[in-house]
Chain A
Amino acid sequence: MTAPLLTIESLRFTWPGDAEPIVSGLNLEIAPGQRVFLAGASGSGKSTLLALIGGLVAPSSGTIRFAGQDLAALSRTARDRFRADHLGVIFQQFNLLPWLDGVANARLGCQFSPARRERAGEIEESARELLAAMGLASDCWTRRADALSVGQQQRVAAARALIGQPGLVLADEPTSALDADRRDAFVELLFAQAERAGSAILFVSHDRALADRFDLKLELADINQANAAAGGAL
């Protein structure tokens, strides 16, 4: 077995001002290129977990190791740099800066990381390629993001997450705004492009119908020992 991409051990986190931790005693391991489905209801700490992995917040205790690097040991600035270099993020909705066109939004994934720009090579070219690979018609590329349909926006968001070949893509309910057909198509395209980029996927969703396509299925309730009801995060 290869060395894990992401190792989380005994993770615990409490939002400032909350009495109870939203994440507690959580262990998780993701191998390079692995596709992981994490099911969980709203308020179960999904978004908090993603923020912790993204280095946006520091764990109260426990370790998060990415490619051997302990995130807790990094400064806040270094965590931002780490996120820019190694992670792609897709939200449920409103992923894009509405006043930028599709290509510019896709390029945004490289904006804050010289390393990713390096990997992307010709950024403009790379962005167009990814948009095309995500099945987006070329007339959408130069349209303002708020002129695109929700499905198109999610594809642009996927392109942004994958540009510059990040090690891991965090997808937070990326399909919940899509209907079933487009949802399946989106996941297929995402998988194909993640494989090409060599990126692992942590796919968080309450839509368990998708779970079978993944290498690993997890229930957040099983791995998070915190009382979900106490959660303050969305």
Chain B
Amino acid sequence: MTLVTLARGSLGNRRAAVALTVATIAISIALLVLVEQMRSQVREGFYRSVSGTDLIVGAPTSSVQLLLFSVFGLGNPTSNVGWARYREIADRPVVDWSIPLSLGDSHQGFRVIGTTAAMFEHYRYAGGRSLEFRHGGPFDGLFDVVVGARAADRLGYAIGDRVVLAHGGGNVSLQHHDELPFVVSGVLAPTGTPVDQSLYIRLDAHHAIHVGWEQGTPRPGATLSPEQAQARAGHGGHDHARPEHPDRGEHGDDARGAAESEARVATPARDDNEQRRAQASLQPEQISSFLLGLKTRAAALGLRYEINQRREAPLLAILPGIALQELWRITGLAEQILRVVAGLVVLAGLLGMLTALLTTLNERRREMAILRACGARPWQISALLLLEAAFIMLSGIAAGLLLAAAAQFVLAPWLLARFGIAVSLTWPEAWQWLVLSGIALAGVLVALVPAAMVYRRTLSDGMQVRQ
């Protein structure tokens, strides 16, 4: 039997009150840990999505906005990038790969992104991982659609399913592009990035569903029927000679490659010409933004400077990491406030424990007299209180960590659905352990108050409780 056993017994005797105190501490610790964990997890989650991209280029706007709409599907582009300008930059020797993005459409709340096969070949996330297909493969035909893992799960889409895409980014769209049914050609494996929440279609398909929508509403007779669109795109979708153009996707001109293959099989010259014209009309004139991968990371700063310097047809190029830093500066104040609130709640928890310990002092005078009679020294009796405080703090912190983990577990699906950020359960970092140790220490220091009172009392009391 030791002081620790005695302290444990005494705590056990006041189980209910102690449990409440521990719960108070636990909640405050959970809040504190959760704020920090979420902060770092969200940051890491965001960074994960852009870690393989060297530059993001779009029409002039704020870099945070460009980053958010291009990668995270938050907000919409206000203006576009001309196709020629995109090609000019994408064809530069320092550029390893480019992924054009046409945004602004949604399907049942999931983003529909027009892009090229380069997306599946070159997009990198989480430190160099490329997209993988759970089923099927990249889009091939004009009306093929590749579905992100989560979107596929939620919508229950499998290879070969027909999908109707809507114009406009909202969850509820009044005007549907009913005319153009798409077919699922591939389902991506989960990435823990916004890719999971997206549907990918060919750039020209994206363009096709907007033909006739130039005014924001469909012009009667101006929209394309599926057949017209196919004709304009210049091929039947699944039968073009993809293997002959392995590098086609890299240059983002799926349509041109397809047209070339079509040209070889097309016999009547008139048809060929017509298709070329039709082809040209499906060639997107504008895209929302594009991602660039450079041959060397070092080239990013130079290219960014060059793009941002141009006076005519100005564009904005951003380094994703820097833009994220800017975003964190914006959210930093809110984080600080949350931290302060969490800190205050911890303080309230400590005061709660102090109250609980102080209220036990009177009922413990008898206990202390007994221990004194048995030869306990005043410091040993004070130590009992400190041990109890330490026990309460450690239990509270342990329970708080569990609570925080549980909360993360609950919050994770929401974050994934809302922002496409995969949050995993992680241990607090080293510095957080330091903070937690500090809080535990603070709890014991707070308990010095009742401990000192007990110390003084044991000296002034005799063997018996003096009234």
Contacts and interface: CB of A to CB of B under 8 A. Distances in A.
Interface of A: 16, 47-48, 50-51, 54, 56-57, 76-77, 80-81, 83-85, 87, 89, 91, 94-100, 104, 107-109, 111-113, 160, 170, 172, 232-234
Interface string B376-401: 11101000000000000000000000
Contacts of B369: 91
A97 B373 contact: no
A40 B453 CA distance: 32
A160 B370 CA distance: 11
Contact of A77 (B370, B377, B461, B465): B377
B462 A97 contact: no
Q: Is the interface of B mostly helix, strand, loop or mixed?
A: helix
Interface of B: 1, 6, 9-10, 12-13, 366-367, 369-378, 380, 459-467
Contacts of A81: 375, 377
Contacts of A112: 371, 374-377, 380
Contacts of B380: 112
B462 A47 contact: yes
Q: Is the interface of A mostly helix, strand, loop or mixed?
A: mixed
A51 B375 contact: no
Nearest to A16: B460
B464 A84 contact: no
Contacts of A109: 374
Contacts of B459: 76
21 contacts: A54-B373, A54-B463, A76-B459, A81-B375, A84-B376, A87-B375, A89-B463, A91-B373, A91-B463, A95-B370, A99-B9, A99-B12, A108-B374, A109-B374, A112-B377, A112-B380, A172-B463, A172-B464, A232-B466, A233-B464, A233-B466
B368 to A, nearest CB: 10
B462 A99 contact: no
A83 B375 contact: yes
Nearest to A112: B375
B377 A80 contact: yes
Contacts of B466: 232-234
Contacts of A83: 373, 375
Contacts of B373: 54, 83, 89, 91
Contacts of A233: 462, 464, 466
